């Protein structure tokens, strides 16, 4: 009888380890809620074996293994919490110099939403800094997740910019254009970040609408829809465990005669 009980407790230990090990699978396949349920089941099984050993049931080394599993899981979660607390937000990007184009609509915009659950976190910092000659942009994200026996974490920063160019045609009219440069999308697992600019030129005027987004554990890029009249952008990360999308505003430049 004692041998049978011992075998059962070893089986419970293995089931608990399996449940905790499968957290990443459940997170990807069914969402973080199911992953958290797997963690709860695994920890409960290990705790049950420890209690059996504590009340005198013959468990052999099973209760000792369960204690090691529980301690390791707690240590990993503490490491995850410490990493989350030590996230440092970047400073806004400084503005540049003026030129012959002139900013007539829009100003510097900064936003930094944060999302978190007890097992996942996502911190962001988005900024647009328009000047008469260009718009400097900065998109930053830091995030991670507690996976039971280990944690995931990553940080990304991209700095695209848009140059505003003015030309004078042979008939004396001014033509304005916007040129987007730099990285606008990056992925460092488990973080994905994206900057979407819609640049529209109309004779001597350039219109720009910007949205920025970041996601934790997104299997693919964002779903984006652009509409016209007026320009609009819809962005979402449908399969991410956490995501942030921020509308950074509308901007307008006009090409004018240079003072020089």
* Cα distances (angstroms) measured from residue 219 to each of 70, 223, 238: 30, 12, 9
Task: Please count the structural domains in the chain.
Answer: 2
* Cα distances (angstroms) measured from residue 103 to each of 99, 130, 176, 247: 10, 8, 12, 19
Task: Indicate the DSSP class of residue 118.
Answer: S
Residue that is last in its domain, among 37, 58, 85: 85
Classify residue 179: in a domain, yes or no: yes
Residue that is last in its domain, among 44, 60, 85: 85
Shared domain for 126 and 227, answered yes or no, is yes
Expressed as residue numbers, the domain containing 30 is 2-85
Q: Which residue has the tokens 């030590």?
A: 86
Shared domain for 79 and 156, answered yes or no, is no
Contact 140, 156 (CB under 8 A): yes
Tell me, yes or no, if the pTM score tops 0.85: no
Shared domain for 222 and 178, answered yes or no, is yes
Shared domain for 65 and 152, answered yes or no, is no
Shared domain for 184 and 127, answered yes or no, is yes
Parallel, antiparallel or unpaired: strands 109-111 and 174-181? unpaired
Residue that is last in its domain, among 27, 56, 85: 85
Distance (Å, rounded) from C-alpha 130 to C-alpha 152?
A: 35
Classify residue 96: in a domain, yes or no: no
Shared domain for 183 and 243, answered yes or no, is yes
In this predicted model, what pLDDT tens digit does every residue of 43-99 receive, in sequence order? 999 999 888 888 877 677 888 889 999 999 999 999 999 888 888 877 665 544 333
Distance (Å, rounded) from C-alpha 204 to C-alpha 70?
A: 66
Contact 195, 210 (CB under 8 A): yes
When pLDDT is cut at 50, 70 and 90, the band that residue 128 belongs to is very high
What is the average pLDDT across 182-196?
Answer: 93
Q: What percent of the chain has pLDDT over 90?
A: 45
Q: Element (H or E) spanning 232, and its range?
A: strand 232-236
């Amino acid at each position: 009888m004692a041998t049978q009980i011992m075998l059962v407790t070893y089986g419970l230990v293995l089931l608990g380890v399996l449940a905790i090990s499968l957290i990443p699978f459940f997170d990807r396949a069914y969402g973080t809620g199911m992953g958290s349920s797997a963690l709860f089941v695994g920890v409960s099984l290990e705790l049950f074996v420890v209690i059996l050993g504590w009340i005198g049931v013959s468990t052999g080394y099973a209760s000792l293994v369960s204690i090691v599993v529980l301690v390791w899981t707690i240590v990993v979660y503490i490491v995850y919490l410490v990493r989350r607390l030590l996230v440092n937000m970047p400073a806004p990007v400084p503005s540049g110099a003026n030129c012959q184009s002139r900013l007539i609509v829009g100003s510097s915009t900064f936003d930094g939403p944060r999302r978190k659950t007890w097992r996942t976190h996502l911190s962001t910092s988005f900024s647009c800094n328009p000047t008469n000659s260009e718009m400097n942009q900065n998109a930053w994200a830091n995030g991670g997740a507690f996976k039971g026996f280990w944690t995931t974490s990553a940080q990304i920063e991209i700095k695209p910019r848009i140059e505003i160019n003015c030309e004078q045609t042979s008939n004396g009219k001014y033509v304005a254009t916007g040129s987007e440069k730099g990285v606008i999308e990056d992925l460092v697992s488990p973080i994905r970040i994206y900057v979407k600019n819609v640049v529209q030129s109309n004779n001597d005027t350039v219109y720009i609408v910007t949205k920025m987004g970041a996601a934790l554990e997104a299997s693919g890029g964002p779903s984006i829809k652009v509409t016209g009249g007026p320009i609009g952008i819809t962005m979402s990360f449908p399969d991410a465990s956490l995501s942030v999308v921020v509308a950074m505003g509308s901007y307008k430049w006009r090409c004018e005669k240079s003072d020089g």
